[in-house]
Amino acid sequence: MNTPLAFAYQGLPMRVVLGTGALGRLADEIDHAGLERIMVLCSPRQLELATMVAGLIGPRAVDIHPHARMHVPAESAAEAQRRAKEVNADGCVAVGGGSAIGLGKIVALRYGLPVIAVPTTYAGSEMTPVWGLTENGVKRTGRDPRVLPVSVLYDPALTVALPTDVSVTSGMNAIAHAVEALYAPDASPVINLMAEEGVRALAAALPDVAADGTDLDARARAQYGAWLCGACLGATTMSLHHKLCHALGGTLDLPHAPTHTVVLPHALAFNQGAAPKAVAALNRALGTPADPATYLWDLAGRLGAPRSLRELGMPESAIDRIVQVTLANPYANPREVTAEGLGRLLRTAWAGQPPTA
C-alpha cells in the first residue's frame, strides 16, 4: 500500500530577474524595495564593477565597501556593519560571489537592511536565508529570513569575465546544493523537481561555458541552474557535504567553491546507498545510468577542476582535526557518520582518488 502524499514547503519571498541586460533593472528593483541610501558591497577584485553599479544607482549610492572576504571573517563583518551605520544606509547591493553576498547578509542580520544581490558566480548564496560567519577558525551558520535578498538580478554578461576554472568550481558548488536537497529530511516533491532540474541545467551548461566563456546562452543556463540549486539549499536542511565543507573552510581557510567541488563526489558516494530516490533523480538529471558520484568526479576532471584536497593546500596531518570538528556539530544525514567513515572519506578526497562508499 502506498504511503499518502504529505509534505511541507515554504516558498521564499524574493524577486528574480534573469537575462542579458538584467543589471539595467537595478534602479527599478531599488524603487520596488523603497530604498534611498544604498551601500554597495564587493570584494577588492570587483571594485571596478561595483563602481559601475554605483553609477547606475546614482545619488542613492552612498558608499562602496570593497572589503568582502571569503568565509566572512568576524572582523570583516564588524567593519562592514560599522560602515553601514556610519553612512546611514537603508539597504545594500551585494555585487559578486558568495563573499560579497555573505557580507551583505551579515549586515542585514545586524541592522535588518534589505539586500539586493547581483551575482557574478554560480554560488547560489543569493537564494538562501542562510548566513555564515567565521571566528577563531570556526565557521558558524544560521538561518534568518532577514538575510534573504529581496531581489536577485542574474545578468549572464556579468559572468563573462569569470575565469573558466572559477566558473566550473562555482557551478559544481551549486550542484552540491541540489544534491544534498534530494536526500534532506525536509525535502518535498517541489524541492525534488527544482533540484533535479537545477542539476540538469548546470551539468549541461558547464561544459559549454568551459568551451566558450563568451557564450551568453550557456552562461544564462548556468545561472538558471544556480538559481534553482540555491533555492533548494535555502529550503532544506544541510547534511554531511556542507557541514564538512564548512569545517574545511572555517578551520583551514580552504577556497570555498573548489572545496565543494572536491568534496561533492565523495560525500555523495558515502550517502548513495542510503538515498536511492536521490540517486534515481540524479541519474535522470545527468542523463546516465552510471553511479552519479563517479559521474560528477569524472565531470570535474573533464572540466579541469581540482579533485583533491591536497592540491587545495590541505595538509594530510589535518584530517583527524577536521573529523573532530565535523563530528562536534550534529546534522541530519541519510547515513550514520562515524569517525572511521569520515576519516576514510577525507583520506580519499585528500589523495584525489575516485569516490567510494
Give the chain's mean pLDDT: 94
Residue 205: what pLDDT?
A: 98
Contact (Cβ atoms closer than 8 angstroms) between residue 269 and residue 183: no
Q: Does residue 357 belong to any structural domain of this protein?
A: no
Domain end, chosen from 129, 159, 189, is at 159
pLDDT tens digit string along 155-175? Answer: 999 999 999 999 999 999 999
**What average pLDDT does this structure show over 277-297?**
95
Contact (Cβ atoms closer than 8 angstroms) between residue 198 and residue 156: no
Q: Does residue 281 belong to any structural domain of this protein?
A: yes
Q: Does residue 8 belong to any structural domain of this protein?
A: no
Separation between Cα atoms, residue 243 and residue 325, nearest integer Å: 9
Residue 11: what pLDDT?
A: 73
pLDDT of 1 above 60: no
pLDDT tens digit string along 120-136? Answer: 999 888 998 889 999 88
Q: Does residue 84 belong to any structural domain of this protein?
A: yes
Shared domain for 145 and 21, answered yes or no, is: yes
Q: Does residue 275 belong to any structural domain of this protein?
A: yes
Shared domain for 332 and 196, answered yes or no, is: yes
Shared domain for 139 and 171, answered yes or no, is: no
Residue 3: what pLDDT?
A: 63
Q: Does residue 317 belong to any structural domain of this protein?
A: yes
Shared domain for 98 and 220, answered yes or no, is: no
pLDDT tens digit string along 291-322? Answer: 999 999 999 999 999 999 999 999 999 999 99
Q: CATH number of the domain that 289 lies in?
A: 1.20.1090.10
Shared domain for 172 and 281, answered yes or no, is: yes
Distances (CA, A) of 30 to 20, 80, 111: 19, 20, 18
Shared domain for 45 and 193, answered yes or no, is: no
pTM higher than the cut 0.75: yes
Contact (Cβ atoms closer than 8 angstroms) between residue 223 and residue 18: yes
Shared domain for 130 and 208, answered yes or no, is: no
pLDDT tens digit string along 73-117? Answer: 999 999 999 999 999 999 999 999 889 999 999 999 999 999 999
Residue 357: what pLDDT?
A: 83
Distances (CA, A) of 34 to 159, 227, 330: 28, 24, 40
First-to-final CA distance of the chain: 31
Shared domain for 171 and 153, answered yes or no, is: no
Shared domain for 177 and 108, answered yes or no, is: no
Shared domain for 313 and 175, answered yes or no, is: yes
How many separate domains does the chain show? 2
Domain end, chosen from 159, 174, 205, is at 159
pLDDT of 219 above 90: yes
* Enclosing domain of residue 112: 15-159
Residue 22: what pLDDT?
A: 96
pLDDT tens digit string along 220-259? Answer: 999 999 999 999 988 888 899 999 999 999 899 999 999 9
Shared domain for 312 and 198, answered yes or no, is: yes
Domain end, chosen from 159, 179, 207, is at 159
Shared domain for 292 and 147, answered yes or no, is: no
Percentage of residues in the chain with pLDDT exceeding 90? 85
Q: Does residue 93 belong to any structural domain of this protein?
A: yes
Q: Does residue 9 belong to any structural domain of this protein?
A: no
Give per-residue burial for 109-139: e unless 16+ CB within 10 Å, then b.
bbeebbbbbbbbbbbbbbbbbbbbbbeeeeb
Residue 2: what pLDDT?
A: 62
Q: CATH number of the domain that 103 lies in?
A: 3.40.50.1970
pLDDT tens digit string along 181-195? Answer: 999 999 899 999 999
Top pLDDT among 61 and 70 is at: 61
